[in-house]
Structure 1
Amino acid sequence: MTMPDRPDETEADRLARLEEHVAHQANTIEELSDQLAEQWRVVEQLRSKLDRLTERFLALEEGSLDAPAITRPPHY
């Protein structure tokens, strides 16, 4: 027979305390999993937005390459 963690604790009390602890851990794991899934959705949205902005920037940059060269104004 094992010694209880607390002198006045019975095996049933110890088991109940451990089961409660495991239930809290399971709940915490579930919450963390949900948060991770939500963060992954946000990352995917941001990645998609970044890809669109990169394409837009590159298109604008391509269009600006055809701009006339900067020359000195006539008053210089």
Structure 2
Amino acid sequence: MKIDNTSDQKLDRFASVESHVAHQDIVINDLSDMVADQWKAIDEMKKQIERLKGRLQSVEESMERPLVGEKPPPHY
């Protein structure tokens, strides 16, 4: 009988380990999906930053050029 009890304990422990591994597999897959989604978001943000940098640069360049026919202020 003692052998059966030990066998039952081993089976219970094995089932517990299987359960934990299955749970960890689900968690790993969920985390992998989250990381993939975050990379997509980061890529979109990088593209948006590049667009904004271009817009800012064009605004800065337009501010550096004096308007044609613009007279200097009277204090000059």
TM range (shorter): 0.7 to 0.9
| Other-structure match for 2:58 | 59
Change (3 A) 1:55 1:15: same
More relative contact order, 1 or 2 (CA 8 Å, 6+ apart): 1
Give the length in aligned residue pairs: 66
CA shift digits 1:42-75 (9 cap, x unpaired): 00000000000001110111111113586247xx
Rounded to whole Å, the distance in 1 between the matches of 2:39 and 2:58 is 29
| Other-structure match for 1:71 | 73
When normalised by structure 2's length, the TM-score is 0.77
Rounded to whole Å, the distance in 2 between the matches of 1:59 and 1:14 is 67
Change (3 A) 1:26 1:62: same
Rounded to whole Å, the distance in 1 between the matches of 2:60 and 2:49 is 16
Structure 1 runs (4+) greater than 6 angstroms displaced: none
Change (3 A) 1:27 1:69: farther
When normalised by structure 1's length, the TM-score is 0.77
Structure 2: any 5+ residue segments left out of the alignment? 1-7
More helix by share: 2
CA-based RMSD of the aligned residues comes to 2.2
